[in-house]
Structure 1
Amino acid sequence: MASLLQQELAAVLQRDLPHLFNGGLAPSISMVRVTPDLGQARVYLSLLLGNNATDRLEIIKDNAKEIRHALAKRIRKTARVVPELIFFHDDSAAYAAHMDQVLGTLDIPVAPKEETDENADKPARPRLFNNE
């Protein structure tokens, strides 16, 4: 059900309700989690492209009823219940980019070379007794 909702919500936001974004790009849906009773669906939106992610999220939250109605029209023959939609901002991609930048700026020294052991070529033999 979560996969179906993710695909259909993406189509609704891009094709059926593009006027919500004033000609801008519709957000991508990174994940949908549905409660076991199918009463609620938590929709995580990736709002990387474009300005003001919080403003865009508020627009989507304000139009949740309209989005749910458009979704109901699309899945009415495959789903018996259309869950209540709760939208969240998914900032995992932005966090990953930030962590990549932080790790790129670290000055990590090269590990010292270990001394080679003359018995390194021989495979280790398990010890059966303490005095071996």
Structure 2
Amino acid sequence: MASLLQQELASVLQRDLPHLFGGGMAPGISTVKVTPDLGQARVYLSLLLGGDAEQRLAIIRDNGKEIRHALAKRIRQTARVVPELIFFHDDSAAYAAHMDEILGTLVIPPAPKDDASGDEEDKSARPRLFKGE
């Protein structure tokens, strides 16, 4: 049910209700999580492109009934109940980009080269695992 809602909500936002975004790009649907009783669906939106994310999320929340009605028209043959839609901003992509930026600035020194020659190992250099070693 969650994947059906994800696909159909993406179509609703892109094809049926593009006027909500003023000609801008419709948000992507990252994930949909449905409660076991199919009463609620938590819709996580990717709002990276197209302007202020909080403003776009507010527009979507204000038009939730219209979005749910358009979704009901699309899935009326498949589902008996159209769940209540609760919209959330999915900022995981922005977080991943931020972490990538932080990891890119780290200076990691190269690993020290092993100066041991041959197969003979220095017993004092390796950790002792047992008392008798």
TM (norm. structure 1) is 0.88
Deviations 1:43-102 (A, max 9, x none): 000001011000000000000000000000000000011000000000000000111111
Deviation at 1:116, TM superposition (A): 3.7
Cα 1:107–1:131 shift into 2, 3 Å? closer
Q: Which residue of 1 aligns with 2:44?
A: 44
Aligned-partner residue type, residue 104 of structure 1: G
Displacement after TM superposition at 1:31 (Å): 0.3
**Aligned pair in 2 of structure 1 residues 131, 6: CA closer, same or farther (>3 Å)?**
closer
Match of 2:98 in 1: 98
Counterparts of 1:57 and 1:73 in 2: how far apart (Å)? 23
Task: State the one-letter code of the partner of 1:33.
Answer: K
**Superposition deviation, residue 107 in structure 1:** 1.0
Instruction: Please give the secondary structure, in 1, of the residue aligned with 2:87.
Output: strand
Separation in 1 of the partners of 2:83 and 2:114?
Answer: 60
1:77 paired residue number: 77
Residue matched to 1:127: none
- Deviation of 1:118 after TM superposition, in Å, equals 2.9
Q: Is residue 9 from structure 1 mapped to residue 9 from structure 2 by the alignment?
A: yes
Task: Give the aligned partner of residue 110 of structure 1.
Answer: 110
Return the alpha-carbon distance in structure 1 between the equivalents of residues 25 and 18 of structure 2.
Answer: 8
SS in 2 for 1:33: strand
1:45 counterpart SS class: strand
Where does residue 34 of structure 2 map in the other structure? 34
Residue 35 of structure 2 aligns with an amino acid whose one-letter code is T
Specify the SS of the correspondent of 2:98.
helix
Counterpart in the other structure of 1:124: none
Q: Deviation of residue 131 (structure 1)?
A: 7.9
Q: Quick one: percent identity of the two aligned structures?
A: 78
Whether 2:24 is the aligned partner of 1:21: answer no
Q: Encode CA deviations 1:11-49: one digit per residue, 9 max, x unaligned.
A: 000000000000000000000000000000000000010
Cα separation, partners in 2 of 1:23 and 1:115, compared to 1, 3 Å? same
Unaligned runs of 5+ in 2: 121-130
Question: Which residue is equivalent to 2:68?
Answer: 68
